[in-house]
A and B are shown apart, each in its own frame.
Chain A
Amino acid sequence: MSFTSVHDMLTPPKIIRKQRFWDFFDGDSLRSWWAQRDVAGTGTFAMQATVDDGFRITTGSTSGNNSLIDFNDAARHYSHIGSIFIGNMRSTSVTDHYTITGLTEQGASPSDTRYNWKNDSTISFMSMGTAVNSSSTNVSSSITPDTNFHKVAAEAKSASVIGWVDDILEAISTANLPDVALQPIFRQGTRSDNAKGGRIKYIEAYNT
């Protein structure tokens, strides 16, 4: 089956298309629609010159260092009560680190207002987080953290956030739901005095 346009592929007839974003993290450099930010320490940001490994963030080598890409808190186009986020991420380690992707209000304030998926060495399983004004909830999945890519997804509705890992429903949160407009984020942090890496090779977000 073929479509006339990407527009028609993703938008039913007579429906006005809502805001959508995607990035394949390919090419020579990160697209300018992302802001690269060091929250603590100095990280490195680079496209991976290897097959199927997307874009990487490597943290500085001091415990607590973390870096991210987001829309610089300048274009929060996604609704906290009607949006979907999809990411394809991996961590290069399962110890003393965290890797996060999702939608957030302020990229540099990780506990603020958001919904996301993360690998966090302080939690035994991949988990979906929701947060509002620094009050947060983590819902663990059944997925033991590893260094493989995982397709993570979540949908924010008015009374819940529902999350999937590799297309399997893994989490539902009804507490501490975000209450403001959001932007995409990918973040990597270290919890030891060793640099830690994360990879992202696809992000898509859209309002529903």
Chain B
Amino acid sequence: MVNALVDYLNAPGVVPLQRVVDNFSGDTLNERWTYTDYNGSNTGSMDDAVGGGYKIVTGTTNGNNAGISFNDISQYSNTSSTLIAVTKHTATSSFFHEIGFKENPVAGGTVSFAFAKGDVSITSNYFLSSNDGTTATNTIGSVAFTTSFQTKEINILSTHLTLRLDGTLDVVKTDRLPDATQEPYFRQGTRTNVSKVGHIKYLEAWNK
């Protein structure tokens, strides 16, 4: 008989693996997250609006950006893990928006990652970006930028990565797969001298 959350998420006899679920609702961001200004002075706060979740508002200088991560607590596999998030950015011009997995985002420098990205400096469609610890490459998808909330699912496998947008498979990427353990990561940036805003209202990540 199934009567526990763990039983709904794991078949009988299967040992549960690491998982995080965050609803981004409440007075403050849950303490599991570390907020980081990567460039400039930006703000992160709960949005006081229906369905608004947590928001990052960048500064007003080109290149300003900030994000949230687990501050080098990397509990997710670089060969077998999945992340689902519901995010949005409020403009489709002069912005970048990243959601997925990254190795120690707070440290900076060249680290491995696998995340969904919107970046007007590269293309007008969402893409899957990854880095094997040496070089980053992008595989461009077919979905144009939207300012509506969107479900983004990043799947890391040993041979390839996939990106699903609103439940539909959009990108398969086979090169430059991450080479180190990962943590959940969300970042919003501006590519103009105007503030840009990103929202996140759900994130779940788990090992498989």
Distance in angstroms between the alpha carbons of A19 and B26 in the assembled complex: 11
CB pair B27 A34 closer than 8 Å: yes
Most buried by A among B5, B31, B202: B202
- Chain A at the B interface: SS class: loop
Q: Does A75 make an interface contact (CB < 8 A)?
A: yes
- Least Cβ–Cβ distance between B190 and chain A, in angstroms: 24
CB pair B26 A21 closer than 8 Å: yes
Which of chain B's residues 150-172 have a Cβ closer than 8 Å to chain A? 150-151, 166-168
Distance in angstroms between the alpha carbons of A171 and B140 in the assembled complex: 53
Contacts of B28 in A (CB 8 A): 32-33
Q: Does A175 make an interface contact (CB < 8 A)?
A: no
CB pair B167 A77 closer than 8 Å: no
Contacts of A2 in B (CB 8 A): 2, 7-11
Contacts of B84 in A (CB 8 A): 5, 7
The number of chain B residues touching the other chain, given as a range, is: 35 or more
CB pair A6 B27 closer than 8 Å: no
Query: Contact string, A8-40, partner B, CB cutoff 8 A, digits 1/0?
Result: 010001101111111000000001111100000
How many residues of chain A have a CB within 8 Å of chain B? Answer: 35
Q: Which residue of A lies closest to B52 (CB)?
A: A77
Query: A32-B30, A33-B30 known; A19 and B25 CB under 8 Å?
Result: yes
For B202, give its contact among A20, A34, A73 (CB under 8 Å).
A20
Q: Does B98 make an interface contact (CB < 8 A)?
A: no
Interface Cβ pair total, 8 Å cutoff: 112
Q: Does B206 make an interface contact (CB < 8 A)?
A: yes
For B23, give its contact among A21, A32, A74 (CB under 8 Å).
A21
Q: Does A181 make an interface contact (CB < 8 A)?
A: yes
For B46, give its contact among A9, A14, A71 (CB under 8 Å).
A71
Q: Does A150 make an interface contact (CB < 8 A)?
A: no
Q: Does B201 make an interface contact (CB < 8 A)?
A: yes
CB pair A9 B8 closer than 8 Å: yes
Q: Does B119 make an interface contact (CB < 8 A)?
A: no
B residues adjacent to A (C-beta < 8 A)? 2, 5, 7-11, 19, 21, 23-31, 45-53, 82, 84, 86, 148-151, 166-168, 201-202, 204, 206
29 contacts between A and B (CB under 8 A): A2-B9, A4-B9, A4-B82, A5-B204, A6-B19, A9-B9, A16-B150, A16-B151, A16-B166, A17-B201, A18-B51, A19-B52, A20-B202, A21-B25, A31-B26, A32-B26, A32-B28, A34-B26, A70-B27, A71-B25, A71-B27, A74-B48, A75-B27, A75-B46, A76-B49, A77-B46, A77-B49, A78-B50, A181-B49
A residues adjacent to B (C-beta < 8 A)? 1-7, 9, 13-14, 16-22, 31-35, 70-79, 181, 205, 207
